[in-house]
Amino acid sequence: MNKFEYLRKQMIDYQLVARGLRDQTVLNAVSAVLREKFIPTDLVEFAYSDSPLPIAASQTISQPYIVALMTAALELKPDERVLEVGTGSGYAAAVLAEIAKEVYTIERHKILANTARKRLEELGYKNIQVLYGDGTLGWPEHAPFDAIVVAAGGPNVPETLKQQMAIGGRLVIPVGASLHAQRLVRVRRISEEESTTTLIKRGLSSA
């Protein structure tokens, strides 16, 4: 076992399982993704630390626990198609791609979109498509989606994303006026006009 394999196992045991995350499908997916490949070279020693880390364009790669929690909240099945809003480094897209059939991910920063696309291709992910654009508009050409996950939310759930969910689809998004006040929620589309909202977690500023 090399250093990163050891750190990855420690991360799963002490950051995910110890916090109550027991979804074996998600744990297996996180275990399969080499997080160190998504971290800037000068920060690679911190790849499995229990915190977000800075990447290009003044953005961050999310804390491993938050990625795992949001993935678990999606309740993904192997034959499903997922839309991710906010590609960032591409790490969360890789975790999703370990479970879902197809992943469509949108990034508003061109440098991040291009870097993530190249990185994911090099790592052999053939079921991920990366789009440079405004994620709040979704990706209508590929809708409807069985699941949608939004990396950085806002005060409301965008109606455009709701409309791109399949019936029975799930949308996981942080909602709130500020990071400290945000709640992670899951919106489930029941019918054309009806959806339900479930609280997953209060406060995402420090999990």
Active site residues: 62
Long-range contacts of 184-188 (CB under 8 A, 24+ apart): 184/69, 184/70, 184/73, 185/157, 186/73, 186/74, 187/157, 187/162
**What is the per-residue DSSP string for 50-97?**
SS-EE-STT-EEPPHHHHHHHHHHHT--TT-EEEEE--TTSHHHHHHH
- The C-alpha angle with vertex 65 and arms to 59 and 70, in degrees rounded to 5, equals 80
